[in-house]
Amino acid sequence: MFASRVIVRIREFTRSHQPRHARVDLAELLRASASLLDWDLRRTGASLSLDLPEGGAFVRGDEVMLQQVIVNLMRNALDAMRTDPPEEPRLSLRLVLRTGEVELQVCDNGCGLGDDVAAKLFVPFASSKPNGMGIGLSICRSFVELHQGRLWFSRNAERGATFHLGLPRLAAEAEATNIRTTS
C-alpha cells in the first residue's frame, strides 16, 4: 500500500510539477515511518529511540514525499548497521525545534562514511551496497529541495553517521489552526 501511494504521488507530481502543501506533523510522520520499518528494525536487531517534541513539529509540505525521505534515511541507517554490525545496533530519531526550522536527525552506529563514499553521496547510481540502486539519497535531495529544506550528514564521535534534514517550520499561528477550528 505504501509503495502504491508513493507511485501514485510521483505520477501526480510529474503531472502537476508541484508538491502538495499541507500541514504535516513530522513527529507523527516519524512514528508512522518507524512502525512501517518495524520488520527491518527487528531483522537488524536494532533498538529504536525516538526523541520527539510533545506538541508535535509542524511543517508545510507533501506528506508522502516527506515520508519517502524519512524512510530512505532510516533504511540507509539500518543498512549501515548490517554492513558492519556494532555490539548494540541503535537507531535514534530526533526532532529539534528551532526558530524558523525543524531539524530531523537520523543517527546510527553503523559502518560510517569514508571520504570516497561521502564524495559520491548524492551521485545517482553510486552505491557501496551489492544490491543498492544508489538512488535513495538523490531522491531525498530532490524532495527536500522542493520543500525549501536542506539535507546534510555528520560523522558521529563514537561510531556511525547522522543524517540531518532541515525544513522550514510552520509559524505558531498556522500550527494552531486545528485548535482554533475545533474549539
Binding site for Mg ion (CB under 5 A): 76, 136
Strands 90-98 and 47-51: parallel
Site membership for ligand ATP, residue 105 (CB under 6 A): no
By CB under 6 A, the residues from 106 to 125 that bind ligand ATP are 108, 110-113, 117, 121
Contacts 24+ apart (CB under 8 A), 39-43: 40/74, 40/75, 40/78, 41/78, 41/91
Question: Closest residue (Cβ) to ligand ATP?
Answer: 136
56 vs 160, beta carbon nearer ligand ATP: 160
**One-letter amino acid for residue 61 of the chain:** G
Question: Closest residue (Cβ) to Mg ion?
Answer: 136
Q: CA 72 to CA 165: how far, in whole Å?
A: 12
Stretch that binds ligand ATP, among 17-25, 44-52, 57-65, 69-77 (CB under 6 A): 69-77
Q: CA 137 to CA 118: how far, in whole Å?
A: 12
108 binds, among ligand ATP, Mg ion, none (CB under 5 to 8 A by kind): ligand ATP
Radius of gyration of the chain (CA): 17
Please state the closest distance from residue 74 (CB atom) to Mg ion, in A. Answer: 10
Q: CA 47 to CA 93: how far, in whole Å?
A: 11
- Residues at the site binding ligand ATP, with contacts judged by CB under 6 A: 72, 76-77, 79-80, 108, 110-113, 117, 121, 127-129, 132-138, 161
